[in-house]
Amino acid sequence: MTAYAGDNDIKKKQSELQKLQKEINLWEQKLENRQKKEKATLELLDTYDQQLVALRKLIKNLRESQKSLEREIDNTKFKIGEIEKKLSFIKKQYTNYVINAYKHGKIYDLELLVTAKSYNQLLIRSKYLQKFSEYRKRDIQKIGEKFEELQKQQNILENQLVELNQLLQNKATEEKRLIARSEERKKILTQIKRDKQNFQKELERKRKAVKDLENLITKLIEDEEKEKDIKTTYSESAAGIFEIRKGKLPWPVKTGKLIGKFGIQQHPVLKTYSNNTGIDIAVPPGTNVHAIADGVVATIWWLPSYGNLIIINHFNNYRTVYANLSEIDVNEGDKVTEGTIIGKSGESINGAQIHFEIWKGREKQNPEVWLHPQEFAKR
């Protein structure tokens, strides 16, 4: 990687960190305003969720920056070590010469010329002394250059250590804020669950969010149709693998319990019936969520009731939806393979779970038909 490309990467990373910091501060302001006006509401919970995702992403970026900077510091220390070795070698050579010159002085040089046994030998020795004198001058110049190079690298190291110290302080601050906000969210969620009316409100929000998700899928389909001429690195045969593996695809989580099936389901608290557009799997908060097949991250979104969600395009018009995520570990446009960790599960008013859907064009599919039945039997 060239120095120019490295500078661009650093600037891009710094810009991303600044953008995330602004986003977090914006949610911080919204939280303060809502906390003054509202008690424990679903909307307040939404604000916490969105700030927490931004916070986790910022901390992740800070950790990556820390590792990158630590590698740079190690590299700078190595360079300093190499320069010091070369400087020591040159100084040692020059010291030996000075000692030798002090012992013999110019008389040694004259003796070398006078004791020549032939004219040719005299010329050779004369050229040798001249060349040796030039080497000595170069050694002095090299010592000066190495000292300058050493000072430059030491200045770089000093700046890097200051930057690392600042980065670690920022990371520690944001980690403390993440812990504090996570605890506040738990308390808010506990209060919300005590009021049965919130479950009814959440059900109404879910009905609206289903429509919003349908619109989002429709827009993705329309955008893809406009860009059909754009080639991807996935071959046509690879794109058809998803359909061929019907009934054999892995589950989005390694362990869990199926608590909500596809289709008409009874609400566990309200005892009313509603249509589930996917499946719900109970898992501990923070469980890794995996892509069930190769594809491209089409969008990362947030919807009331669904929370943070990821939609992956598997080509041939197949898409999967992973919702109720507490963390997101991919970016829009990322190519993922089967089993890639794309995020972590969260906890909502309905419990610690993830919501998962499969779409064929604009049609919702029953995920149980597509996922491996033996894995399902173990749950």
What is the model's pLDDT at position 231?
45
Answer CATH for 195-377 from 2.40.160.40, 2.40.50.140, 2.70.70.10, 2.40.30.10: 2.70.70.10
Within the chain, all domains assigned CATH 1.10.287.1490 are found at 3-193
Q: What is the pLDDT of residues 277-288, one digit of tens each?
A: 899 999 999 999
**Main-chain dihedrals φ then ψ at residue 351, nearest 5 degrees:** 115, 180
- Residue 318's identity, in one-letter code, is Y
Q: What is the pLDDT of residues 333-370, one digit of tens each?
A: 899 999 999 999 998 888 899 999 999 988 999 999 99
What is the model's pLDDT at position 367?
94
What is the model's pLDDT at position 105?
52
Contact 80, 157 (CB under 8 A): yes
- The mean pLDDT value of the chain amounts to 77
Report which DSSP code applies to 278: S
**Residue of 58 and 96 predicted with greater confidence:** 58
What is the model's pLDDT at position 177?
80
| C-alpha 226 chain-centroid distance | 30
pLDDT above 70 as % of the chain: 71
Q: What is the pLDDT of residues 126-177, one digit of tens each?
A: 565 555 566 566 666 666 677 788 788 888 888 888 888 887 888 888 878 8
pLDDT at 4 over 60: no
pLDDT at 10 over 80: no
- Architecture of 3-193 per CATH? Orthogonal Bundle (1.10)
What is the model's pLDDT at position 125?
47
Contact 92, 186 (CB under 8 A): no
> Where does the pLDDT of residue 230 fall: very low under 50, low under 70, confident under 90, or very high at 90 and above?
very low
**Main-chain dihedrals φ then ψ at residue 321, nearest 5 degrees:** -120, 130
**Residue of 8 and 2 predicted with greater confidence:** 8
pLDDT at 242 over 80: yes
Show the tokens assigned to 1.
Answer: 């990687």
Q: In the chain, which ranges are continuous DSSP H helix?
A: 3-37, 42-114, 119-194, 196-226, 236-239, 241-244, 367-370, 373-377
What's the rounded mean pLDDT across residues 200-209?
A: 81
Report which DSSP code applies to 229: T
What is the model's pLDDT at position 377?
46
For 378, the enclosing helix (H) or strand (E) is none
Within the chain, all domains assigned CATH 2.70.70.10 are found at 195-377
Q: For the chain, how many residues are written?
A: 379
What is the model's pLDDT at position 345?
94
Q: What is the pLDDT of residues 251-305, one digit of tens each?
A: 999 999 999 899 887 767 667 777 888 999 999 999 999 999 999 999 988 888 8
What is the model's pLDDT at position 3?
47
CA–CA distance, 311 with 265 (Å, rounded to integer)? 24
What is the model's pLDDT at position 311?
95
